[in-house]
Amino acid sequence: MSFCEKCIVTGLVQGVFFRAVTKDRADKLGVTGYVKNIADGHVEVLICGQPEAVGHLKAWLWDGPDQAHVSNVKCILIDDVDVPKTFEIN
């Protein structure tokens, strides 16, 4: 069973390769969705896939790439979403 969660990652998460490294992790885990910078300086991540894989990527978001300094990750379950076929950087 596949499901989706949308996460907001706060801290020093823009300009530190967060999106590129998140995409690499997502591809390795076989999840779909997207990662994008948002205007307030945070990063938004939509993760869709098997619960275990989604959980692994959510846990990794707390670490991020070496240059990042994550202060918080908030995720919510998304019921009404067209599940993407790939994981993209937006």
Residues annotated as catalytic (active site), given as ranges: 19, 37
- Taking only Cα atoms into account, the Rg of the chain, rounded to an integer number of angstroms, comes to 12
Burial class (CB in 10 A: 0-12, 13-18, 19+), 31: buried
Quote the tokens at residue 89: 């950087």
Placement of tokens 């076989």 in the chain: 30
- Give me the sheet containing 3-12, strands edge to edge: 69-78, 3-12, 43-49, 32-37, 87-89
